Chain A
Amino acid sequence: MIHSLFLINASGDIFLEKHWKSVVSRSVCDYFFEAQERATEPENVPPVIPTPHHYLISVLRHRIYFVAVIQSEVPPLFVIEFLHRVVDTFQDYFGVCTEAAIKDNVVVVYELLEEMLDNGFPLATESNILKELIKPPTILRTMVNTITGSTNVGEQLPTGQLSVVPWRRTGVKYTNNEAYFDVVEEIDAIIDKSGSTITAEIQGVIDACVKLTGMPDLTLSFMNPRLLDDVSFHPCVRFKRWEAERILSFIPPDGNFRLLSYHVSSQNLVAIPVYVKHNITFREGSSQGRFDLTLGPKQTMGKAVEAVLVSSQLPRGVLNANLNPSQGTYTFDPVTKLLTWDVGKINPQKLPNLKGTMNLQAGASKPDENPTINIQFKIQQMAISGLKVNRLDMYGEKYKPFKGIKYMTKAGKFQVRT
């Protein structure tokens, strides 16, 4: 399956290599660099690149290319999914997944990679198992280790791999038993010029942070489970129970994990919480353009729209912009032509507005296309789909846990065409 892994940074240096079978020379990455050159943008490098003797499958995350070398037929998604899992694990261990973090923890990285794959086939990818085998480095532990000479490698053997619930480590103990669930929904939408919705869908996840002693068995039920007709589960969720009763029943992993993600598709009606009034025009012949943008709340059920950030890629002809925001600050990068406006909170009484002129390159013709506007925002205490958790029950343990649930709606890929 996966032969080797190369980590390549943005400037094209291979800063880590790992081989699970016999060694593949790093010159194989030259094919990758070729493809990288051909693709103008970093994200346009094709994920699957054939070379005479190998195949390269790569993912780009945190400006690092993770390039896996494959020798024979294997489902590309298998490798891609695994590489993403590797990145997630690094992030989990080191907080960030940057070149510096990886280089600082190269030994832990190596130990992790060694455990995650055996002969190129995934062995232990569950974070609970890995953490039992290799403890994540913390500042405290690093200090203790340097003084006492103890190690990051867990003394225990990976008993988790033998268990019926491989995702949960054994012998978990907490003094405060707590279980938090975050229902986070992202709206992906395309709004056309006239303000009507072309497509809108909701991507929801339920992220959990469960710190419970022992082997708790949880059930989570919803007020309106019918909303969830397109879901994917963490392996811990008992699928049969969901099919039959529409109740999530599971023995949770320890710590943070994604319990469920769901999709409310474009066929359903999705409420759009903000509207945009815009007037962006370029006049033929003149070297000036007008820019006028107003944001307003809509269908928010009385909740405040916060952390609003507007960004737009202005046409290449624009030299600079001279704008005046009624609230927040804006920046315009004359090189990338990216306009960003940090609005903050929308006040329904006094709608935020950004107005002014754009200067075009002298002699440049009128741009064909008006820029699209990308909007980010957050609404606390609301799930836009209307999903509501009914109750959470725990079986199998005696204590009474502290339970909490939080709802949030965010903008996903929210675009307004002008």
Chain B
Amino acid sequence: MSASSAFNEEKLGSSSVGEAEYAYDPVSGKIFSSDYNRHDDLKEMLDSNKDSLKLEAMKRIVAMIARGKNASDLFPAVVKNVACKNIEVKKLVYVYLVRYAEEQQDLALLSISTFQRGLKDPNQLIRASALRVLSSIRVTIIVPIMMLAIKEAASDMSPYVRKTAAHAIPKLYSLDPEQKDQLIEVIEKLLADKTTLVAGSVVMAFEEVCPERIELIHKNYRKLCNLLIDVEEWGQVVIINMLTRYARTQFLNPNINESLLEEGSGGEKMFYGSDEDEDEDEKEKKAEAAAIAKRKPYVMDPDHRLLLRNTKPLLQSRNAAVVMAVAQLYFHLAPKAEVGVIAKALVRLLRSHSEVQFVVLQNVATMTIKRRGMFEPYLKSFYIRSTDPTQIKVLKLEVLTNLANETNISTILREFQTYVKSQDKAFAAATIQAIGRCATNISEVTDTCLNGLVLLLSNRDETVVAESVVVIKKLLQMQPEKHSDIIKHMAKLFDNITVPMARASILWLIGEYCERVPKIAPDLLRKMAKTFTAEEDIVKLQTVNLAAKLYLTNSKQTKLLTQYILNLGKYDQNYDIRDRTRFIRQLIVPNEKSGALSKYARRILLAAKPAPVLESAFKDRDRFQLGTLSHSLNIKASGYQELSDWPAVAPDPTVRNVEVIDPVKEWAPSLGKAKQPKSDDKFYSDEEEKGEEGSDSSSSEDSSSSTEESGSESEKESNEESEKTSTDSGKSSSDSERSSSESEAEQKKKKNTKKKNKPAAADSDSVESEAKYSSSSTESSSESNSESDSDSPAQQKISVKAKPKVELKAKKEVSLLDLDDFSPAPTNAPKPSVISSSLLSDLKGLSLSNVSPTLQITTSSFGPEKTHELLHHMTGKGLSAKYHFPRQPCLYQPQMVAVQLILTNTLDHSLEEIHVGDRSPASLSIHCFNTIERLEPGASVTVSMGIDFSDSTQAANFHLCTKEDQFSVSIQPAVGELLMPSTMTEPDFCKEQKKLQGMNETSATIIMATANASIQTISKQVLSVANVGVVSSSNNFHRFAGRTISSGDLVLVSLEPKESSTALLTINTEKSVVASMLLRDLKQALAQA
């Protein structure tokens, strides 16, 4: 780093040089001209206790940073202010810190604790900004801290914090690439996130950290497609580019049939050889695919269709980058017939800033080579204005040339005529090249072009003439036999042309085709012999060439002339010419010294030269994904991800199946069954197509509704999911589909066995870290530690009691083991409810006596009452499972919700090895029950599990496995079960409620059944819905308090009766989702009773 040197320099020069420089600089002039030891001055200001002085100092420092001046020696003074109250000072300190932390690693560590504190702030925005700054500090020592912070933030309730976590991932990765594996886990988790806020950022992280792990996208593919339109614009660009790459690996080429047709019949003739070449290149690959395609017509994967459909509206974005991203997606993925839609949008971009025009035109140029027809209607939009910058003109010219065909060539040539006269000579020259290309490509106009170019030879401008001659030379080279008259004409023009390059070109041309103009050539040589000494070097060289060629073909006439010219050349001032002369003489004039070469002189000099190919500079550019930096530069940029070729056989499309869409399939079961026999041979059979199509449309509908009422989204989904599990299991039981579902299951199994080791280890890791965190972070830990020790065994007993004897032994072992593993957990875990009841009775005494019993009664009585079915015995092949929430603190971890499972064997033989299989989402931490070795016929067993729902009602999906089978089941918690009761006094309640106003308050007026008059019945109703504690109240209000189990956030419920059986229900909590769901549930419950 040049930092230190710059610093020294500055110190030395501060008195004189610095002063002079600042004089004209308004900012620094104001600031620095007063004194030399400005840094001392700044330090003093920073140390003062006035915020205004600090702010002034920080502003100056930031101004220094902005101008690239070194301010690193102020580091200690600045870092001190990291905890400053003034928000602007704080922000500027962050700016400084992020800039210099890398250079002053040790001192930077001083600031870390401030951010760590910020990470635990109840306000999501402060948590987010703390994480943002923390992750921007590039100090390797804090990598573990960052890792922890990211992991924690990734499961934060607030989507904004999760977004920040996604942003932090690439930062950490660039700091320490060894964290890749752990980071990928976080990415995987965040990819499953359903909010639009997170989607763009996490895909960005994915692209930076692990773009090769394409399999992580499978499960999220449809979700990303559906969310896309609501993601912020920058995220859209990243997601679309990623999905393009994904789609190329997963779907079949939609144009495969057409390319086959072309190959087979040779029907549509291509203009550019390139296409055919390419076809041949790919022939082998395609042959395989073709074989398949012949057997069965191509049908687009519905997911492929989904992507195309959902990206199309984005062509209307105001952001050029988004439009370009969609355009390249269509170009690379869409069937030929549909690509056309992008042309209009791209043409619209041409009105934008010239930089945007530049990039868009580059891409259009590449597209026009492959798909010319697309842009033909917009030909006029590419016409050139005299005010365009030259680089834009040249690109437009390129596009126009690519678009030229038999029908429009006349208009294009007329335009070109105007351009040729342009004052911008570089552009005029480019136009001549373009005319040349048109002439070679379209044989009808070759003559017209040639004549036009010949006319240009009389132009006054050197560049134009030279360019014309060069282009004419190239054109003549292609078909010299036809154009001897032009050659003659050029020879005639020779006297008038002064531009050396053009003269040289004519000489070469005459020399090359001297046999066609046998009379003119020697005459020209004669003229040249006269003026040889006055010519430019390049002309002299060509004269020597001409002489040599004539000597070989027509030595009778030109022998003397040649010798004369060679003699002139021999004594020329330029050594190139002397060399060339000597070489030619040895080659052509036979003498005794001449070597073997002279025999071949004719073959050397008059070899048939291949005609130069006039082709677009953009010909091969489509090997790069369009819209990329690499495409723009035509060089592979670092970090460029190749766009793979289409697969010959489509990979398994079922990998993208997320269970959510299954119910849709189930809605039309007759369809699936009726056509069953076909369905098991291929994935692409018709009825699956239909089924999935239906599901697609429904899911896209979902997304549309979610934009409007995002609040209810999660509920809906959860409903769907629960529905799905029931229907899902129904499906798998039906014999017809079993085969396919089994094969899927097998595949899954294989995958799992592969992955098993890694995720398992990682899981336990994260669990541990969480446990550690909770021990330090849970505020309530101070409440009473002494009690907890004695409590835990009691708790354990309770849970154990509930189980039948068979289970007891095994269960005990497990829990003991676990207690060892997670020693901090039990100390925290059982507290709240137990404390709550004891404290309640202790503190409240008589006034509470009528309430606290209800609490206790309700907690114990409502638990088992609501039993939900987990697995029906029909679906479970005899194994039936039910679950309920016992509302007891979970034994295994404080964040987990305790769930009791009752497993019953309805078969006439015993079931073996009942255990929990793999789960989804993968990050979900479940404490499973111990494997049940054997369940006798007709017997049932109760086991308990712990599930960390992370305060969301997202269902926990897992497999319930027996020795032979596995059944996917899901536990769907009601929101009220995610709470635990919390005790507080009325004043405390009010105080807490005041803190949670505004955004954190949700309220609604509800109608209550009149029977709910008494306090007990209302409490009963509320407690039946939510696991909260009753707060005694002095007036008519009903108050209940609870905490969310996973994050421990307060949830305060208050019910204020109003006239005529209505009441105002208010819920105060930071978890707004919880609040709204709870509100709905309570409303329902209170209205029903």
Contact = CB atoms under 8 A, between A and B. Distances in A.
Instruction: Tell whether A pairs with B.
Output: yes
A153 B91 contact: yes
Given A17-B68, A75-B241, A59 B389 contact: no
Contact of B91 (A81, A111, A198, A258): A111
Given A106-B27, A111-B91, A199 B381 contact: yes
B629 A106 contact: no
Among B67, B86, B197, B201, chain A packs the most CB atoms within 10 A around the CB of: B67
Contact of A119 (B26, B99, B158, B170): B170
Contact of A125 (B123, B234, B320, B629): B234
Interface string A41-74: 1011011101000010011110000000011111
B887 interface: no
Contacts of B641: 73
Nearest to B87: A153
A107 B316 contact: no
B125 A188 contact: no
Interface in A248-300: 258, 261, 263, 265-267
Interface residues on A, range: 35 or more
Nearest to B460: A365
A231 B316 CA distance: 6
B701 to A, nearest CB: 11
A55 B2 contact: no
A48 B633 contact: yes
A266 to B, nearest CB: 4
Nearest to B638: A72
Q: Which 3 A-B pairs have the closest CB atoms?
A: A72-B639, A149-B52, A151-B88
A72 B207 CA distance: 11
20 contacts: A17-B67, A47-B359, A50-B635, A73-B640, A76-B629, A104-B26, A106-B66, A118-B167, A119-B168, A121-B170, A157-B125, A159-B999, A161-B197, A162-B158, A190-B385, A232-B317, A235-B317, A258-B318, A368-B461, A415-B385
A153 B55 CA distance: 11
B125 A77 contact: no
Given A76-B629, A230-B348, A265-B378, A123 B167 contact: yes
Interface string A1-44: 10000000000001111110111011000000000000101011
A289 to B, nearest CB: 15
Interface in A339-396: 365, 368-369, 372, 374
Given A72-B639, A118-B132, A230-B348, 18 more contacts: A1-B204, A21-B138, A25-B2, A74-B629, A75-B629, A81-B319, A103-B26, A103-B27, A106-B67, A114-B91, A125-B234, A151-B86, A153-B88, A199-B380, A230-B345, A232-B318, A232-B345, A233-B317
Contact of B316 (A39, A81, A149, A239): A239
A399 interface: no
Contact of A157 (B94, B126, B630): B126
Contacts of B627: 75-77
Interface in B634-650: 635, 637-641
A46 B351 contact: no
Nearest to A148: B52
B75 interface: no
B849 interface: no
B353 interface: yes
Interface of B: 1-2, 25-27, 50-52, 55, 59, 62-63, 65-68, 86-88, 91-92, 94-95, 99, 102, 123-126, 132, 135-136, 138, 158-160, 164, 167-168, 170-171, 174, 197, 201, 204, 229, 232-234, 237, 241, 313, 316-321, 323-325, 344-345, 347-348, 351, 353-356, 358-360, 377-378, 380-381, 383, 385-387, 389-391, 415, 418, 421-423, 459-461, 627-630, 632-633, 635, 637-641, 704, 707, 710, 999
A84 interface: yes
B629 A70 contact: yes
B241 A106 contact: no
A158 B125 contact: yes
B88 A80 contact: no
B391 A44 contact: yes
A80 B234 contact: no
Contacts of B347: 263, 265
B633 A121 contact: no
Contacts of B164: 118
Contacts of B27: 103-104, 106
Contacts of B102: 22-23
A17 B66 contact: yes
Contacts of A75: 237, 241, 321, 324-325, 627-629
Contacts of B704: 240
A80 B359 contact: yes
Nearest to B1: A23
Question: Interface majority SS on B: helix, strand, loop or mixed?
Answer: helix
Contact of B344 (A265, A369, A413): A265
Contacts of B383: 190, 198-199
A107 B92 contact: yes
Contact of B637 (A55, A149, A162, A261): A55
Interface string A91-120: 000000000100110110111001000110
A84 B26 contact: no
B629 A16 contact: no
B125 A80 contact: no
Contacts, number: 246
Contact of A44 (B389, B633, B640): B389
Nearest to B196: A164
B633 A55 contact: yes
Interface of A: 1, 14-19, 21-23, 25-26, 39, 41, 43-44, 46-48, 50, 55, 58-61, 70-78, 80-82, 84, 100, 103-104, 106-107, 109-111, 114, 118-119, 121-123, 125, 149, 151-153, 155, 157-159, 161-162, 164, 166, 188, 190, 192, 198-199, 201, 203, 230-235, 239-240, 243, 258, 261, 263, 265-267, 313, 315-316, 365, 368-369, 372, 374, 413, 415, 417
Contacts of B67: 15-17, 106
Contacts of B160: 161-162
Given A22-B102, A73-B638, A121 B204 contact: yes
B355 A162 contact: no
Contacts of A47: 355, 358-359
Contacts of A192: 418
A77 B132 CA distance: 26
A183 B234 CA distance: 28
Contacts of B359: 47-48, 76-77, 80
B321 A81 contact: yes
Nearest to A201: B381
A103 B391 contact: no
A415 B380 CA distance: 14
Contact of B386 (A72, A77, A415): A415
Among A119, A198, A230, chain B packs the most CB atoms within 10 A around the CB of: A119
Given A77-B356, A232-B317, A166 B232 contact: yes
A108 to B, nearest CB: 10
A158 B164 CA distance: 13
A372 B167 contact: no
Contact of B51 (A121, A149, A153, A233): A149
A1 to B, nearest CB: 8
A80 B389 contact: no
A128 B990 CA distance: 35
B233 A235 contact: yes
Contact of A110 (B26, B66, B317): B66
A413 B318 contact: no
Contacts of A78: 234, 237, 321
B133 to A, nearest CB: 10
Contact of A21 (B87, B174, B358): B174
Nearest to A193: B418
Nearest to B316: A232
Contacts of B50: 149
B165 to A, nearest CB: 12
Contact of A198 (B2, B317, B380): B380
